[in-house]
Amino acid sequence: MAFSVPIGSSSVRFPAICPFCEARNTTRWIRRRHSRLTGYYLFYFTYSTAKLQFPICTVCGSKALSLLWAGIAMVVTAALIPEEWKPAVATLFVLAGLALLAYRVWWLSKVMPIVLGNGDFIIVTRSLDYARQLATANDTTFEAFMPATLT
């Protein structure tokens, strides 16, 4: 189940909890971005992008950074493996690195900004408590829905 909170183009206020683990001590920020195709022409496309910084606790911030660097390190290490080990071991390293990066993308999708146009957007979250607190902080309501991509 996912929850959507519509936010207007005015300033956004975030509750002082981590959207990933719902811890109360948010000392770091994580940047989330969503791009949307707004038009296409003969030689180029136009996009609108929402960039938001969400408060995040130290543990979840470290986890997001660790998953990123571990995934990159696994893929880069595959290129440094000796030639006699290359076929099997390099494939395992690349697959493990890509799996870590895919897990990070899935884990960060617990909170997603979605661009609607002219500065308005929706924040989609999997947490009922976070959706309630975000809606209260921004004087709006939230809706529950069952998306195919977040189940």
List, for residues 1-26, the tens digit of each pLDDT value. 788 888 876 677 888 888 888 888 77
Tokens for 11? 């300033």
Task: Please name the residues in contact with 25: beta carbons below 8 A apart, sequence gap of 6 or more.
Answer: 18, 57, 58
List, for residues 81-117, the tens digit of each pLDDT value. 877 777 888 888 899 999 999 999 888 888 887 767 6
User: CA nearest 50: which of 149, 105, 6, 116?
Assistant: 116
Would you state the torsion angle of the CA atoms of residues 37, 7, 150, 51, taken in this order, to the nearest 10 degrees?
50
